[in-house]
Amino acid sequence: MEFVVFADHVGTIESIDADIERCERVAELLAEAEDELSVVVRFLLGRVFPAHESTKLDVGPRLCYEALARAAGHNVTASDVEERVASEGDIGQVAESYDLGGQQGLGAFGGGGPETLTVNEVRDSLETLAGATGEGSQETKRDILFDLFNRAEPEEARYLVRLVLSEMRIGVGEGAIRDAIASAFDVPVDAVESALQVSNDYGLVAEVARSDGEDGLGTIQLEIGRPVQAMLAQSGAVTDAVQDWDTVAVERKYDGARVQAHYDGDTVSLYSRNMEDVTNPLPEVVSGIDASLQAPAILDGEVVAIGEDGDPRPFQEVLRRFRRKHDVARARENVEVRFHAFDCFHADGDDLLDEPLVDRHDRLTAVVDPSDHIEVSQLWTTDDPDKIADIEAESLEAGHEGIMLKNPESGYTPGNRGQNWLKRKPDVETIDCVVTGAEWGEGRRANLLGSFELSVRDGDGYATVGKVATGITDEELDSLTERLTEYILTEDGADVDIEPAVVFEVGYEEIQESPTYSAGYALRFPRFLGVREDKSPADADSLERLERLAEA
Ligand code: ATP
């Protein structure tokens, strides 16, 4: 498929307001794609590589502006591009407005190729770009981008630049792609959903849906090195658990960050709750798993920060590791961590997702030989509520967050927040909100963002629920400002709109009905507790949960 055809479809898709019609247009585009189907799917989601792959383009706006300016010709400089982006907001629109092309080749990649770009060619060029490292890599990247822009029609440039800068924003999320795959290849949405939960690879699922239909989707299996969506828990009561399951499996609820560990017999890869590769930030877990496992396996568990006395530390201390990707050594000096494995989906060649929890836990115990930084959760099975109360008291006493109650006979259902895992934690509730806006401070603080607008998920969009300004240290304010500035969409005086990207954990005293915010509720006395580095906007709390909390 020519990239201009892709861009033309995307232009139409972006201009449609109604979800159903937009999804139909996406389905048409998928049906039209040939051998580039998986690439088209990823591009629509604004990705060049599958979500779980750690390969990154690592292209900053400045590099892109320089490449664009070169392709636009003599009179345009990178600073001109930057100024226009600052005043017009959308880099795609700015790129589209230039009369690109016709510039003579600059560097190894400049101006050599044929005129028309194809989708696969764009993918190949961006793969080469991502592979450029070390001395001279910035020039190589700039040359590759220049070559792409120099060959692009205006509409192509609009989406190319957005793709490169991870700013696709065409209103097509993962849910829309799932529905479009189902509709384009005439397979049930549930079958697409299940295949996605196990593989998390939208491109692959689209290809299998097209080539082998529903039956093919059912055969998509676990693969070591490809994370599975985490099974989630609901809040629940001991009495209900005992009544529903007779025997209850009880575990400590560790207060850390969810991590999935994949070991292929040679290499260890670690993934966070939102399936980002967190192997580098957790070197002692990597070496611990390497020492503890004698056979290939996939483990689910929690990474907990440990104080000098061996007791658990607050979970934000682990999340700090995820943030300080480039400074692991320093973070490691401050925070020691331990991995508590509590589930196992694959052990030594056997896929275990459909096995009962207690059997999976037996396999877990058999496959893991605990080492310095690796432990296996203790699992009690009982029908005695008093015994459960004792475990809960002991768990809290030891500094854990509470307990988990699990149905001992249940399989592992990826991505599902069902009735088979119940969580009990006595702490006051907190809520995870997406930052959708902010205000610049005044006077001495004019270059810092101050109060942050908080939103919950509402369908495919977001509904505001309050603003938070308290609980943020000066150091945190500096780093939040730096980080959120990247996501500013528009500015109006001191008010800024921010693209949903960062999730705050927020404490509050009460939730009240309120006409002030679009959720219809307001958080009273909200206070910032930390950034949920392990959550994407799609994992933030929903309007339904807010309503439930307000009623409680
Ligand atoms: P959620 O994950 O439910 O969206 P959350 O991230 O705030 O919300 P919690 O409400 O604390 O998480 O409860 C579920 C989380 O508890 C799991 O995702 C996991 O990270 C953690 N956890 C700790 N110990 C266990 C355990 N033994 N079994 C399963 N999960 C556990």
- For residue range 425-458, list pLDDT tens digits in order: 876 678 999 999 999 998 888 899 989 999 999 9
b/e map 142-178, b = 16+ CB within 10 Å:
bbbbbbbbbbbbebbbbbbbbbbbebbebbbeeebbb
Which atom of ligand 1 approaches the CA of 534 most closely?
6
Q: From the CA of 233, how far away is ligand 1's center (Å)?
A: 7
pLDDT recorded at residue 110: 44
d(CA 418, CA 233): 7
Encoded tokens for 117: 């770009």
Q: Over the stretch 292-317, which tens digit does the pLDDT of each residue have?
A: 999 999 999 999 999 888 888 888 88
Q: From the CA of 232, how far away is ligand 1's center (Å)?
A: 7
pLDDT recorded at residue 155: 93
Assess contact for 52 and 200: CB atoms under 8 A: yes
Atom 16 in ligand 1: residue holding the nearest Cα = 253
102 contacts: CB under 8 Å, gap ≥ 6: 73, 150
Which atom of ligand 1 approaches the CA of 421 most closely?
29
pLDDT recorded at residue 328: 60
Overall average pLDDT of the 249-266 stretch:
96
Which atom of ligand 1 approaches the CA of 231 most closely?
18
Assess contact for 420 and 406: CB atoms under 8 A: yes
Q: What proportion of the chain, given as a percentage, has pLDDT over 70?
A: 95
Overall average pLDDT of the 283-295 stretch:
95
Span of 107-111, 352-356, 366-370, 515-519 with lowest mean pLDDT? 107-111
Q: Which of 229, 231, 232, 318 to mutate to test the pocket of ligand 1 (most atoms within 8 A of CB)?
A: 232
Q: How confident is the model at residue 108 (pLDDT cuts 50, 70, 90)?
A: very low
Atom 2 in ligand 1: residue holding the nearest Cα = 232
Higher local confidence (pLDDT), 173 or 257: 257
Q: Over the stretch 40-52, which tens digit does the pLDDT of each residue have?
A: 999 999 999 987 7
The number of residues in the chain equals: 552
Whether 107 shows a pLDDT value over 60: the answer reads no
Whether 552 shows a pLDDT value over 90: the answer reads no
pLDDT recorded at residue 58: 83
Whether 114 shows a pLDDT value over 80: the answer reads no
Atom 31 in ligand 1: residue holding the nearest Cα = 253
Q: From the CA of 541, how far away is ligand 1's center (Å)?
A: 14
Whether 103 shows a pLDDT value over 70: the answer reads no
- Ligand 1 close to Cβ of residue 162 (< 6 A): no
pLDDT recorded at residue 111: 46
Q: Over the stretch 323-361, which tens digit does the pLDDT of each residue have?
A: 755 566 666 666 889 999 999 999 999 999 999 999 999
On average, the pLDDT of the chain sits at 90
In the block, tokens 């100024």 appear at 83
Domains, in order of start, for the chain: 47-164 (1.10.3260.10), 232-421 (3.30.470.30), 430-551 (2.40.50.140)
Q: From the CA of 332, how far away is ligand 1's center (Å)?
A: 23
Atom 25 in ligand 1: residue holding the nearest Cα = 253
Q: Which residues pair with 491 in a beta bridge?
A: 496
In the block, tokens 């040939």 appear at 34
- Ligand 1 close to Cβ of residue 232 (< 6 A): yes
d(CA 159, CA 157): 6
| Phi, psi for 422 (deg, rounded to 5) | -120, 140
- Ligand 1 close to Cβ of residue 315 (< 6 A): no
Q: Which of 229, 254, 338, 395 to mutate to test the pocket of ligand 1 (most atoms within 8 A of CB)?
A: 254
- Ligand 1 close to Cβ of residue 339 (< 6 A): no
Q: Is the ipTM of this complex over 0.90?
A: yes
- Ligand 1 close to Cβ of residue 302 (< 6 A): yes
Choose the catalytic residue: 56, 141, 253, 425. Answer: 253
Task: Tell me the Cα Rg of the chain.
Answer: 25
Overall average pLDDT of the 220-239 stretch:
91
- Ligand 1 close to Cβ of residue 404 (< 6 A): yes
Assess contact for 531 and 504: CB atoms under 8 A: yes
Whether 140 shows a pLDDT value over 90: the answer reads yes
pLDDT recorded at residue 142: 94
- Ligand 1 close to Cβ of residue 378 (< 6 A): no
Higher local confidence (pLDDT), 416 or 364: 364
SS3 37: helix
End-to-end CA distance of the chain: 53
Overall average pLDDT of the 150-171 stretch:
92
Q: What proportion of the chain, given as a percentage, has pLDDT over 90?
A: 66
| Phi, psi for 200 (deg, rounded to 5) | 55, 20
Higher local confidence (pLDDT), 437 or 174: 437
Whether 61 shows a pLDDT value over 60: the answer reads yes
Q: From the CA of 255, how far away is ligand 1's center (Å)?
A: 8
pLDDT recorded at residue 332: 64
- Ligand 1 close to Cβ of residue 258 (< 6 A): yes
253 flagged as catalytic? yes
Whether 418 shows a pLDDT value over 90: the answer reads no
In the DSSP assignment, the letter for residue 394 is H
Higher local confidence (pLDDT), 15 or 55: 15
The secondary structure element, H or E, covering residue 189 is helix 189-199
- Ligand 1 close to Cβ of residue 332 (< 6 A): no
| Phi, psi for 365 (deg, rounded to 5) | -60, -35
Span of 102-106, 456-460, 508-512 with lowest mean pLDDT? 102-106
pLDDT recorded at residue 330: 64
Secondary structure of 211-274 in HEC code, one letter for each residue = HHHHHHHHCCCCECCECCCCCEEEECCHHHHHHHHCCEEEEEECCCEEEEEEECCCCEEEEECC
Span of 65-69, 83-87, 106-110 with lowest mean pLDDT? 106-110
Q: Over the stretch 74-94, which tens digit does the pLDDT of each residue have?
A: 789 999 998 898 888 889 999
- Ligand 1 close to Cβ of residue 342 (< 6 A): yes
